[in-house]
C-alpha cells in the first residue's frame, strides 16, 4: 500500500532507532501499518507513529541517524524526497603504516598467514609463489599496486616457459596472488583487488590412483620380520590403510590419540579440524604388538609421546616414513609412483566398492567439501554401473523390480 507524507497537523512521528527486517515483519504482523522507503520505515500503530532504520544483523553506521531525521522531515512534508536505496557511507580505509614496497607487503602478509594458523606447507607454498612474483615485478619495473593484464600474462608465461610449471601450479600461483591482493585491499595498500576478472588456466584434475586389494595385501603381508623396526612398519602401514590417514596425520599421532579398546583414533587434520577414525582388528593387533614389543626397544630418553619412532628413538618424520614405504613398495612390486597417499586412496575406493555412502567416506577422510570425495566415483566405474543397475527403476531386472514393488 502506497503512503503519502502525513500532514504536519498530525502528531510528529519520532525517530526510534534501528530494527532488523525480522523485527519489522513482526510489527507488521501485529497490526501495525508499515511503509518502507529504502532503509527507513514509517510505522503507524494505535496512538503512536515511529520512524525506524532497517538494517541487517549489524548496527547501522552513525551517519544513518542523520538520514533518519531527513526521512522524518520528508514524512512531515518539510523536506525534499530522500534518495532511495542509497548505499551507506563506507568508513575511510586505514592504511597500514610502515608498508610501502612489495617486499614489505609480502613479509607482512606471510606474518599474517603464520598468525592465522595456516599449516607450514601452505606457508612455504605462499612464500615461494610471492617471492617469484616479487622478483619478476621488480625486474620488470611494474607498479605492484596496480599490475596490468599484460604484466600478469607475462608473469604466467614466465612460469610456464622459464620455470616449467604445470597448468595446475600456474592456476595455484594465480590463486595465491588473488589472496595476497585481497589482503592488500583490506589493509589499504591498494585501491582494490587488481586481479578481479582475470581467469586462470584450467587443467584436468588428476584422478586418484588406488591400489588393488591384492596389492595392499601383498604390501602388508610382505613384512614378516619381528625386529622393532619391522613391527613399527607393519603398524604404520596397517594404521594408514585402516583409517585412510594423510602422511602428516600418521606421523603426528600421539599416544593419547589411541583408543584401542574402542578401536578408534583421534586425528587432527587440515585446518586443525579433529575427527575420530575407526580402525579394524588387523590395525589394532599390529599396534598392540608394536607398542608392547617394538616401541620400548626404540624409545630414547626422554621418551617422546608420538606413536611411531625412528631407529634413533626420536619421532618418525614424513621423509623417513616415505623412505620406508618406497622400500616396502619395491619389495611388494607395486606400480611406479606409489606413495603413502596411495593407501589413503585405496582406503576410500575400497570403502566405496564395499557399499559405504559418500558422506560417510567424506567424514572419515576429513574432506571439507563433498566434491573432493566425489572424485572416487570416477575411479570405480564398475561400482557406479552396479549401483545404477540396482537402483534405477528402468535398469533393474524384473525380479529385482518385483521385489522392490
Residue 246 is among the residues annotated as catalytic for this protein: yes
Residue 344 is among the residues annotated as catalytic for this protein: yes
Residue 121 is among the residues annotated as catalytic for this protein: no
Catalytic residue among 49, 246, 295, 324: 246
In this predicted structure, what is the pLDDT of residue 4? 38
In this predicted structure, what is the pLDDT of residue 10? 43
Residue 341 is among the residues annotated as catalytic for this protein: yes
Residue 367 is among the residues annotated as catalytic for this protein: yes
| Integer CA distances (angstroms), 167 to 156, 158, 159, 255, 285, in order | 10, 13, 10, 41, 44
What digits encode the pLDDT tens for the residues 44-88? 776 666 666 666 555 555 566 666 667 666 666 666 655 554 444
What digits encode the pLDDT tens for the residues 104-146? 888 888 888 887 767 778 888 999 999 999 999 888 888 888 8
Spatial separation of the C-alpha atoms in residues 326 and 6, rounded to whole Å:
83
In this predicted structure, what is the pLDDT of residue 166? 82
With a CB cutoff of 8 Å and minimum separation 6, the contacts of 134 are 102, 103, 106
Q: Regarding beta strands 48-54 and 40-45, do their DSSP bridges make them parallel or antiparallel, or are they unpaired?
A: antiparallel
With a CB cutoff of 8 Å and minimum separation 6, the contacts of 182 are 193
Domains and CATH numbers, the chain: 14-75 (3.30.920), 102-186 (1.10.150.130), 213-376 (1.10.443.10)
In this predicted structure, what is the pLDDT of residue 74? 67
Catalytic residue among 173, 295, 344, 345: 344
Query: For the chain, which residues score pLDDT lower than 70?
Result: 1-24, 36-39, 46-69, 71-100, 117, 193, 196-198, 200-205, 379-392, 394-405
Catalytic residue among 270, 275, 317, 322: 270
Residue 39 is among the residues annotated as catalytic for this protein: no
Q: What would the 3-class secondary structure string for the chain be? A: CCCCCCCCCCCCCEEEEEECHHHHHHHHHCCCEEEEECCEEEEEECCEEEEEEECCCCCCCCHHHHHHHHHHHHHCCCCCCCCCCCCCCCCCCCCCCCCCCHHHHHHHHHHHHHHHCCCHHHHHHHHHHHHHHHHHHHHHCCCCCCCCHHHHHHHHHHHHHCCCCCHHHHHHHHHHHHHHHHHHHHCCCCCCCCCCCCCCCCCCCCCCCCCCHHHHHHHHHCCCCCCHHHHHHHHHHHHHHHHCCCHHHHHCCEHHHEECCCCEEEEECHHHCEEEEECCHHHHHHHHHHHHHHHHHHCCCCCCCECCECCCCCECCHHHHHHHHHHHHHHCCCCCCCCHHHHHHHHHHHHHHCCCCHHHHHHHHCCCCHHHHCHHHHHCHHHHHHHHHHHCCCCCCHHHHHHHC
Q: Regarding beta strands 48-54 and 14-19, do their DSSP bridges make them parallel or antiparallel, or are they unpaired?
A: parallel
Amino acid at each position: 500500500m502506497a503512503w503519502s507524507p502525513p500532514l504536519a497537523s498530525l502528531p510528529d512521528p519520532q525517530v526510534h532507532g534501528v530494527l532488523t527486517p525480522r523485527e519489522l515483519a513482526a510489527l507488521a504482523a501485529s497490526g501495525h501499518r508499515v511503509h518502507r522507503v529504502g532503509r527507513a520505515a514509517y510505522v503507524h500503530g494505535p496512538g503512536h507513529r515511529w520512524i525506524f532504520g532497517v538494517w541487517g544483523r549489524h548496527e547501522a553506521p552513525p551517519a544513518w541517524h542523520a538520514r533518519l531525521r531527513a526521512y522524518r522531515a520528508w514524512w512531515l512534508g518539510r523536506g525534499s524526497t530522500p534518495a532511495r536505496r542509497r548505499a551507506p557511507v563506507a568508513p575511510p580505509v586505514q592504511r597500514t603504516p610502515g608498508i610501502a614496497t612489495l617486499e614489505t607487503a609480502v613479509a607482512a602478509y606471510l606474518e599474517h598467514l603464520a598468525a592465522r594458523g595456516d599449516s607450514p606447507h601452505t606457508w612455504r607454498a605462499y612464500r615461494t609463489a610471492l617471492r617469484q612474483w616479487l622478483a619478476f615485478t621488480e625486474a620488470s619495473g611494474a607498479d605492484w599496486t596496480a599490475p596490468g593484464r599484460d604484466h600478469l600474462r607475462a608473469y604466467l608465461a614466465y612460469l610456464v616457459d622459464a620455470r616449467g610449471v604445470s597448468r595446475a601450479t600456474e592456476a595455484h600461483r594465480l590463486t595465491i596472488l588473488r589472496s595476497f591482493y585481497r589482503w592488500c585491499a583490506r589493509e589499504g595498500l591498494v585501491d582494490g583487488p587488481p586481479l578481479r576478472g582475470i581467469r586462470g588456466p584450467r587443467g584436468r584434475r588428476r584422478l586418484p590412483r588406488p591400489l588393488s586389494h591384492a596389492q595392499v595385501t601383498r604390501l602388508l603381508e610382505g613384512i614378516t620380520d619381528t625386529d622393532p623396526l619391522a613391527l613399527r612398519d607393519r603398524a604404520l602401514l596397517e594404521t594408514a590403510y585402516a583409517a585412510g590417514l594423510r602422511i602428516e596425520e600418521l606421523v603426528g599421532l600421539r599416544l593419547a590419540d589411541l583408543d584401542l579398546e574402542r578401536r578408534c583414533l583421534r586425528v587432527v587434520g587440515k585446518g586443525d579440524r579433529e575427527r575420530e577414525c575407526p580402525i579394524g582388528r588387523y590395525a589394532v593387533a599390529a599396534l598392540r604388538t608394536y607398542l608392547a614389543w617394538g616401541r620400548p626397544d626404540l624409545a630414547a630418553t626422554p621418551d617422546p609421546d608420538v606413536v611411531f619412532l625412528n631407529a634413533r628413538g626420536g619421532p618418525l618424520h614424513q621423509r623417513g616414513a616415505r623412505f620406508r614405504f618406497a622400500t616396502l613398495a619395491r619389495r611388494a612390486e607395486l606400480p611406479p609412483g606409489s606413495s603413502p597417499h596411495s593407501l589413503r586412496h585405496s582406503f576410500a575406493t575400497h570403502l566405496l566398492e564395499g557399499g559405504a555412502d559418500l558422506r560417510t567416506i567424506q567424514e572419515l577422510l576429513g574432506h571439507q567439501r563433498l566434491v573432493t570425495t566425489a572424485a572416487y566415483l570416477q575411479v570405480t566405474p564398475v561400482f557406479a554401473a552396479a549401483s545404477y543397475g540396482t537402483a534405477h527403476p528402468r535398469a533393474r531386472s524384473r525380479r529385482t523390480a518385483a521385489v522392490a514393488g
